[in-house]
Structure 1
Amino acid sequence: MELIPTSTVWMDGEFVAWDQAHVHVLTPSLHYGWGVYEGIRAYATDRGPAVFRLRDHLRRLHDSARVYLMDPGWSVDELTEISLELLRRTGLDSGYLRPIVYLSYGSMGVAPALDTARVAIAAWPWGSYLGETADQEGCRLVVSSWQRNGVHSVPPLAKATGAYVNSALAKVGALRAGYDDALMLTSTGHVAEASAANIFAVREGELVTPPVCDNILPGLTRDTVITLARDLGLTVREQSLTRSELYVADEAFLTGTAAEVVPVASVDDRPVAAGGCGPITKQLRDVFHDVVRGREPTYRHWLEFA
């Protein structure tokens, strides 16, 4: 997606102009991928801009930093207030926030100095991650030849910058082959996730999604959809899926902060039975859109208003 600049970025204690948000070219985070980040969405509501599950995202940022032995130096509460102030300063009604913990200049090598952690947060406008057509008619997935990072290589539970080279290889390959996104498998052949989204299958009215032990990042949108589905009386099972089970699913959809809830039209050129956005997918997508925009009072505790 095109990156549309805004006026301001927060960098480790101060707000700076977008064009002045510089990091030294010799930061170990650039050379070795040693950094962690979050993707967070803000939405327009009847009370002004609101950030969805901001504290949960920032807690996960802290958890990811712990996995990579970094101390962000800013608490969840502090980063929450900074994020909301950044949203106010940029004047965005809705958009995408990207907090990142990275290493400052000062060391070089595969064992970088980890006591130089810095934090930055940017915000910018956001459109449709997979495109308007995919949102309405469903996205076309293809199983990637690149396996999903395993727990014995790079920790899937942490959103690490370097780990996303794995996702990028899969996504670029899918796009070049004419698909919308890649579906990544584990070393045992089970479905893990798309390049940057979790996946659900619907079969005979029940939802199935891969478990954490299948090398997924347990996304906050995934968690939101599981909660909403169960509150609606739907059965949700976290269990391993094979690609063949997706071939015969009644419905399938992706979830993610960037993607939100997007129907799957086909997997490996095999059309999903619903032919796009099936009834359960539509029900969950509509409820999700209401929740993030503050139209469902039951879930307003997930919103931080700017």
Structure 2
Amino acid sequence: MSSTSSSVLRADQIWIDGKFVKWDEGHMHVMTHALHYGLGVFEGIRAYRTHDGRLAVFRLREHIQRLMDSAHICMLQMPFTIDEIMEACVELLRKQKDLFANGAYLRPIAFMGDGAMGLGAVNPTRVVVTAWDWGAYLGEKGMREGIRAKVSSFTRMHVNVNMVRGKISGQYVNSILAKREAVLGGYDEAILLDISGFVAEASGENIFMVNKKGIIKTPPLSSPILDGITRDTVLKLIRDSGRTVEEVTFTRDALYICNEIFFTGTAAEITPVREVDNRMVGDGKPGPLVQFVQDTYFRVVRGQEPRYADWLTYI
């Protein structure tokens, strides 16, 4: 059994450019272009232990399709097809089935490799898939009780600067700075505004809110936000329940006076927000909508909702 720390399990092998190698042999040259200039794309994907004891990857094809789309946006030529990368993910988990019996986090990444340097260089694309055991990104307590968030002094980049349909490695420096600022200030997460001052998203999650009239809102895809797969999942779950969601812009003070806020993301899953900028959200605990979304989401990923069975790829 291997680990990146005393408490985090990771795979014994890594898939690199079509071959499995030992974790400790997963090296890249220091002159890798992406290390210098940030030209890479990646995904975060979760596999869950289902109610019948099997392991299933959640929305694998959608994630790998987004990886390919991100690469296309960046003009990275992908040497593998969607099906080949999907199979790499499945095979990696198959090889580690005993280690990850309770679930795993997959990280496919594609990036410009070593060769020529400079901004105009075009080198072969390297593709890697790794996996490890990653619990609740914002903490188990945060999942249960809600987290504290801070509106960041850093702004989410304009849509003509930030390629918002791509999950691009270098663009996450903006998120890292916002996250560090929030954590150093004693908060759990940052909320970034767009250049017009409207709420965009958190450092690594999409955001939903419920106002005092019970209207559910989330920023639209015309905002500088990632088209989150968990966001899309939650939109469908809410709408399938007969509720309405408005995809509209809203201001930070709308968050201050709303009844509920929660974040969505593969890593964060469904995380309630109990406080924003030292202002309690609602009554300071997870509300009825986020409780419904959490319960339904985890039933879906654990294979307990047959109508969404096609979202699961069993190992």
Q: Is the TM value for this pair above 0.5?
A: yes
Paired residue for 1:37? 42
Query: Which residue of 245, 255, 271 corresponds with 1:262?
Result: 271
Query: Which residue of 82, 88, 93 corresponds with 2:88?
Result: 82
Paired residue for 1:151? 159
Paired residue for 2:136? 128
Q: What are the superposed Cα offsets for residues 214-252 of structure 1, whole Å, 9 maximum, x if unpaired?
A: 100010000000000000011101000110111111111
Paired residue for 2:15? 10
Tell me if the contact between 1:36 and 1:100 (Cα under 8 Å) persists in the aligned partners: yes
- Is 2:183 the partner of 1:178? no
Q: Distance in 2 between matches of 1:274 and 1:159?
A: 35
Aligned residues: 305
Tell me if the contact between 2:56 and 2:313 (Cα under 8 Å) persists in the aligned partners: yes
Instruction: Using structure 1 for the length normalisation, give the TM-score.
Output: 0.97
Q: Distance in 2 between matches of 1:127 and 1:163?
A: 24
Q: What are the superposed Cα offsets for residues 245-281 of structure 1, whole Å, 9 maximum, x if unpaired?
A: 1111111100000000011101111110141210111
Displacement of 1:47 = 5.2
Paired residue for 1:208? 217
Paired residue for 1:103? 112
| Secondary structure of residue in 2 paired with 1:188 | coil
Q: Show the 5 A alignment for 1:65-80.
A: 65-80=71-86
Gaps in structure 2 of 5+ consecutive residues: none
Q: Distance in 2 between matches of 1:4 and 1:172?
A: 25
Query: Which residue of 19, 25, 42 corresponds with 1:20?
Result: 25
| Secondary structure of residue in 1 paired with 2:80 | coil
Q: Show the 5 A alignment for 1:220-259.
A: 220-259=229-268
Query: Which residue of 124, 148, 160 corresponds with 2:168?
Result: 160
Tell me if the contact between 1:198 and 1:256 (Cα under 8 Å) persists in the aligned partners: yes
Query: Which residue of 119, 133, 152 corresponds with 2:127?
Result: 119
Paired residue for 2:60? 54
Instruction: Using structure 2 for the length normalisation, give the TM-score.
Output: 0.95
The percentage of aligned residue pairs carrying the same residue is: 48
Q: Distance in 2 between matches of 1:183 and 1:90?
A: 36
| Secondary structure of residue in 1 paired with 2:109 | strand
Q: Which moves more between the two structures, 15-24 or 40-49?
A: 40-49
| Counterpart AA for 1:167 | S
Across the aligned residues of Structure 1 and Structure 2, the Cα RMSD in angstroms comes to 1.2
Q: What are the superposed Cα offsets for residues 99-144 of structure 1, whole Å, 9 maximum, x if unpaired?
A: 0001121011122214x11110001111111112211110111010
| Secondary structure of residue in 1 paired with 2:10 | coil
Q: What are the superposed Cα offsets for residues 190-229 of structure 1, whole Å, 9 maximum, x if unpaired?
A: 0000000000001222210001121000100000000000
| Counterpart AA for 1:243 | R
Q: Distance in 2 between matches of 1:95 and 1:47?
A: 14
Displacement of 1:82 = 1.3
Q: What are the superposed Cα offsets for residues 66-119 of structure 1, whole Å, 9 maximum, x if unpaired?
A: 0000121111111111110100112212110000001121011122214x1111
Displacement of 1:150 = 1.6
Tell me if the contact between 2:162 and 2:224 (Cα under 8 Å) persists in the aligned partners: no
Q: Distance in 2 between matches of 1:103 and 1:34?
A: 6
Tell me if the contact between 1:150 and 1:186 (Cα under 8 Å) persists in the aligned partners: yes
| Secondary structure of residue in 2 paired with 1:85 | helix
